[in-house]
Amino acid sequence: MSAGGSADGAAAGAVSSTMLLALGIVGGLLCIYVSGFLGDVVGPVIAGIGAVLAIIWGADAIRRVASYGLGTGVPSIGYMSLSVGVISALAGLSLATKLNIHMLGPIAGFVVAVIIGAIIAIVATKIVGMKIPIMLQCTIEIAGAATLSILGFAVAIAGSYDMMVVYEHVVATGFIAVLFIMCTMAIQHPFNACLGPNEDQLRTLKCAASTAFLSMTLVGLMSVTTGGLGWFVVFIVGLIGWIVSFRAFVLASCNDAASTKWAGLWPKVEQ
Amino acid sequence: MDPVTLGVVALMGAVATIGGAAEDLESDIGSQSNPNSQVQLAPQMGHLHRMINKAASGEPVAYGVWCGVAGAIAYLVMSLGMMPLIAIAMGACVAAFVHAIYTVTSHMGRIVGQSQFEQPLFMDVLTQSLGPIVGHGFITSFCIVGISYLMTIPLNGTPLHVFPLPLLAMLWGIALGAIGSSTGDVHYGSESEYQKFEFGGGTPVAIQGDIVTKAPLGAKNSMDVVNFCAKFGGPLTGFCFGLVVFFSFWNTVVFGVYGGIIVGIIIVILLIIMDNYLEVFARNKYGPYEEE
């Protein structure tokens, strides 16, 4: 077993993983597409919320695959999947530009992520020999979530999923690298932070919502120079979402702890 | 050789040394990286404790985030016309805020994940350690974004690097995290946390989590660990990172592109010889670890 891993086996949870998957894919893609029709102020917020949904889905997928005892591999699979996410997102948008069908961009990026994720999972299971039954499904899911989170935040900064606009405001400025590492952290951190025998899915998801909204708040700041008031709305919505989810996580942690103390020593327990 | 560029490279090396030292000490307070999982296992091994368990991923990802965010905010503030020094400080402030939030979630999450072993969630441990963690994190982000900025300003017409500031800051953050994790770990909290075991034995899996939880007076805490590491571990990590930054640019500035590559290869060969000599010397002097 990994250091501090919760259990060697499939992780159960109060919230259905299928529901989170549907929320991530449908919600994420829908928000990214709808944002294009909502103007400069509301559009970026909706795109940001799409990215938040994708991050929560990705965090749940990490939780499921990592509960097989990945341990210190939790950040690694996050890192790897987000690199797939960046490549897929840019490949999808470029493909759409090449074909001159801009609407194709986000969905093409998602499909590319699924393909690359599947290839990586097959290499990991068949060649490297990792014995995780849900490796294929979860790697595809995390890569898909990574792509949608990158796309959602990129659209929130640029205000459009047109490749040239994304290139100018997200790639050329170097923000793409920050999105990559920030989304890596947001997706892998919740399970990595909460792991242990008493890890609980709801608490982990509350942590995921808090990391996702924190990223959205930062994305709001990053879109300051893009123009319009959109950045401020993204920032405020992200901040409110973060306060609510962070508070929920802290309260859940205090309730679930063996005891919460502000001073003193630990209790004496039978060895 | 351009003396101004060489001076800037020397300055970058000095700043990187300070940043590297602060990074290692920050991770020592937070029991991050290598010993982190071992602190995590302590309650299972019957050792309830008052240590911080800051599992915000490994150091490379974590410092990629803090420095990337600091670089992005600094880049934005500079593009709005603010003075670079103030802009970098503002970026490091935002990064420190993010750092604090991730510290709180990871500590609370991991402690609560061990609740069946009766490990209490000590809030005073968190509040007391948060300041030093975030403070060291601020210094590190400031230094990394600072050296990244120095790389982007055109000296005599050409900058040392063509990448935009946020990208450079993230890359150097990852590099620093990796160096802090590999260099700092050796002189790390693990020596303090596992001080009851004979020196030189490393921390094999069998003893992971079997940490010392009491100090000469009262409970051992994360501040004791950082005090222990501040003498050698932190400065050594800083020195290592400073040398990495300095030698990344010094050779090409002094000897040109092709001469710089040859000098770089010579430096690597010299380092291999020196490292080998040091290891052989240490093993001969202190002897190999022997199973009893």
Cα B132 to chain centroid, rounded: 14
On the question of pLDDT at B225 being above 70, the answer is yes
Q: Does A222 touch chain B (CB under 8 A)?
A: yes
> Token digits for B83?
């003075």
pLDDT above 90 (res A180): yes
Q: d(Cα B172, Cα B190) in Å, to the nearest integer? A: 25
For residue A47, is it within any domain?
A: yes
Q: Do A196 and B76 touch (CB under 8 A)?
A: no
Q: What is the pLDDT of residues B119-138, one digit of tens each?
A: 999 999 999 999 999 999 99
Mutate to test the interface with A, among B47, B51, B105, B152 (most CBs of A within 10 A): B105
Of A1-10, A251-260, B40-49, B237-246, minimum mean pLDDT range: A1-10
Q: Specify the DSSP class assigned to residue A271.
A: -
- The token duo for A213 is 């909204």
Residues comprising chain B, all counted:
292
Q: Given the structure tokens 């923000």, which residue do they identify?
A: A175
Nearest to A253 among B48, B112, B124 (CB): B112
Between chains, do A3 and B64 touch, taking CB under 8 Å as contact? no
DSSP-assigned letters across all residues of chain B:
--HHHHHHHHHHHHHHHHHHHHHHHHHHHTT-SHHHHHHHHTGGGT---B-----SS-HHHHHHHHHHHHHHHHHHHHHTT--HHHHHHHHHHHHHHHHHHHHHHHHHHHHHTTGGGT--EEHHHHHHHHHHHHHHHHHHHHHHHHHHHHHHS-BTTB-S--S-HHHHHHHHHHHHHHHIIIIIGGGSHHHHHTTTSPTTS---GGGTT----B-SSSB-BHHHHHHHHTTTHHHHHHHHHHHHHHHHHHHHHHHHHHHHHHHHHHHHHHHHHHHHHHHHHHHHHH------
Q: What are phi and psi of B57, to 5 degrees?
A: 65, -170
With b meaning 16 or more CB within 10 Å and e meaning fewer, what string describes B162-182?
Answer: ebbbbbbbbbbbbbbbbbbbe
Contact A192 B55 (CB under 8 A): yes
Nearest to B110 by CA among A229, A204, A172: A204
Tell me whether B97 touches chain A (CB under 8 Å).
no
Q: Please check whether residue A5 lies inside any domain of the structure.
A: no
Q: Note whether B171 contacts A177, CB cutoff 8 Å.
A: yes
For residue A78, the Cα-to-chain-centroid distance in whole angstroms is: 9
Assigned domain for A43 exists: yes
Kindly provide the ipTM of the predicted complex, given to two decimals.
Answer: 0.91
Q: Which residues are bridge partners to A261 per DSSP? A: B122
Which of residues 159 through 178 in chain A touch B, CB cutoff 8 A? 172-178
CA distances from residue B67 to A146, A211, B83, B147 in whole angstroms, order as listed: 21, 17, 19, 11
Residue A47 banded pLDDT, cuts 50, 70, 90: very high
What six digits make up the tokens of A252? 């859940």
Q: B243 and B10 in contact (C-beta within 8 Å)?
A: no
Q: Rounded to 5, what percent of chain A is helix, strand, coil?
A: 75, 0, 25
**Which residue range is the domain that position A136 belongs to?**
16-256
Query: What pLDDT is stored for residue B290 in this prediction?
Result: 63
For the cut 90, the answer to whether the pLDDT of residue A216 exceeds it is: yes
Residues of A in contact with B50 (CB under 8 A): 265-266
CA distance B274 to chain A (A): 32
* Average pLDDT for chain B: 87
User: Mind listing the pLDDT tens digit for each residue in A67-107?
Assistant: 777 766 777 888 888 999 999 999 999 999 999 998 899 99
Determine, for residues A266 and B37 on separate chains, whether the beta-carbon distance falls below 8 Å.
Answer: no
Cα B31 from chain centroid (whole Å): 12
Please give the pLDDT value at position B30.
Answer: 81
Q: Testing the interface with A: which of B61, B99, B171, B190 to mutate, by most A Cβ within 10 A? A: B61
Element (H, E) at A224: none
- Answer whether 0.80 is exceeded by the pTM: yes
Does the beta carbon of B124 lie under 8 angstroms from any beta carbon of chain A? yes
Return phi, psi of residue A100, to 5°: 60, 30
pLDDT at site A2: 38
B110 to A181: CB separation less than 8 angstroms, yes or no: no
A243 touches chain B (CB under 8 A): no
Rounded CA gap, B180 and A25, in Å?
37
- Nearest-CB residue to A221 (from B46, B61, B73): B73
* Residue pairs spanning A and B at CB distance below 8 A: 204
- Predicted pLDDT of residue B292: 55
State the burial class of residue B268 (Cβ atoms within 10 Å of its Cβ: 0-12, 13-18, 19+).
exposed
Contact A12, A67 (CB under 8 A): no
Does some domain include residue A209?
Answer: yes
Which residues, 6+ apart, have CB-to-CB distance to B137 below 8 Å? B22, B26, B66, B95, B96, B99
In which band, very low, low, confident or very high, does the pLDDT at A6 lie, cut at 50, 70 and 90? very low
Q: Could you say which of A178, A194, A218 has the minimum Cβ distance to residue B109?
A: A194
Question: What value does the mean pLDDT take over residues A226-245?
Answer: 91
pLDDT for A165 beyond 60:
yes
Separation CA B122–CA A265 (nearest Å) = 9
Best of B80, B103, B108, B185 to substitute, by most chain A Cβ atoms within 10 angstroms, is B108
Mean confidence (pLDDT) of chain A: 88
Task: Please report which helix (H) or strand (E) contains residue A266, including its range.
Answer: none
- Tokens 């965090």 correspond to A59
Question: Is A8 within the bounds of a domain?
Answer: no
A21: left (phi over 0), alpha (psi -120 to 50) or beta: alpha
B210 contacts: CB under 8 Å, gap ≥ 6: B42, B45, B47, B194, B197
Helix, strand or coil for residue A151?
A: helix
For residue A265, give the DSSP letter: P
Residue among A178, A190, A214 whose CB faces B72 most closely: A178
Q: Which of A178, A235, A260 would best serve as a mutation to test chain B binding (most B beta carbons within 10 A)?
A: A178
DSSP B112-160: HTTGGGT--EEHHHHHHHHHHHHHHHHHHHHHHHHHHHHHHS-BTTB-S
pLDDT of amino acid A142: 93
Contact call for residues B48 and B212 (beta carbons, < 8 A) = no
Q: Cα–Cα–Cα angle for A183, A44, A223, nearest 5°?
A: 70
What pLDDT was estimated at residue A3? Answer: 40
Cβ of B109 and A207 within 8 Å? yes
Identify the sign of the CA torsion B59, B61, B66, B72: positive
Chain A CB contacts of B164 below 8 Å: 172-174
pLDDT of residue B155: 79
Contact A155, A29 (CB under 8 A): no
Residue whose tokens read 């928000």 = A31
A74 and A191 Cβ atoms separated by less than 8 Å = yes
CB count in 10 Å sphere of residue B118 = 15
Q: How many structural domains is chain A composed of? A: 1
Contact list, B174 vs chain A (CB under 8 Å): 181
Give the end-to-end CA distance of chain A in Å, rounded to a whole number.
22
d(CA B237, CA B215): 26
What's the CA gap between B279 and A156, in Å, rounded?
Answer: 52
A201 in any annotated domain: yes
